[in-house]
Amino acid sequence: MTETSDFDKQGYDLAVSMAKSLYLGLKFGHISGWIYWAMADYVIKNNELTSLGRAFQQYYRFLLPGTIMVQAASADPDILVVAGKLRDNLSVIAINNSMTDKTIKIEGTGNSSEFKLFRTSETENFKSLPRTGNTGIILKANSINTLSSGNLPTGGTSDNTSDKIEITPNPASDFIQVKNGDDCTLTLHDYLGRCILQQYLSGKEQWIEAGSLPPGMYIVTVKGTDRYRAQKLIIQ
């Protein structure tokens, strides 16, 4: 496990700096855990992930518990790459550490012929791009890219607004209501990063008792196979 911070940077500069730190930790430190302090204001703002949160998402949404890191390298020193495999899903994270667009191809044993591409850059926040083959893959300048060959839960909230996960009220006191969270898992962390509550949600609308929680700020996450939402939650 390791921890890091880089408070002299802001916005996307901070995001790409932390993405590079994660790359270094995975590539050379073989880390299995990561702590980032000041999560509340830097990662989530106005109930939306910041560019830093999206940069972390390029890793966290794919390198899930049980992932086995596999050897990955690039002949181009400007392409920083790590890869991991979970069951039949190969995830390749590639940072273009240059100010020009790059075109890459993925080769190797157990490689897939098709990938889903997600990208975070100065103008994009975890943008889902069309599926691509394993050649002619364009990495935008100064961008963080994840290529996934499988069907892990890699999206944000659903594009269908009728299925969008809603967590209300906020602030809350006695109960939290979760809409469209059926077949998802709700996790609640306090400001120190400690897991306070984890609960499976079985219904379209479900109430979670919150009256026993100490007042303060929490991070609530609802995650399913095709839906995801994370936001700050105030308990009064």
pTM above threshold 0.75? no
Which contiguous run of DSSP H or E holds residue 14?
Answer: helix 11-28
Contacts of residue 10, Cβ cutoff 8 Å, sequence gap at least 6: none
Q: Does the residue 156 lie in any domain?
A: no
pLDDT at 159: 40
Domain with residue 112: its CATH number is 2.60.40.1180
- Do 28 and 86 sit in the same domain of this protein? yes
Tell me the pLDDT tens digit for each residue of 59-100.
988 888 778 899 999 999 999 999 998 877 899 999 999 999
Provide the domain count of the chain. Answer: 2
CB 4 within 8 A of CB 52: no
Q: Which domain holds residue 71?
A: 2-148
- Do 13 and 124 sit in the same domain of this protein? yes
Residue at a domain's end among 85, 113, 148? 148
- Do 199 and 121 sit in the same domain of this protein? no
The 8 Å CB, 24+ separation contacts for 72-78 are 74/104, 76/102, 76/104, 78/102
- Do 106 and 194 sit in the same domain of this protein? no
- Do 170 and 131 sit in the same domain of this protein? no
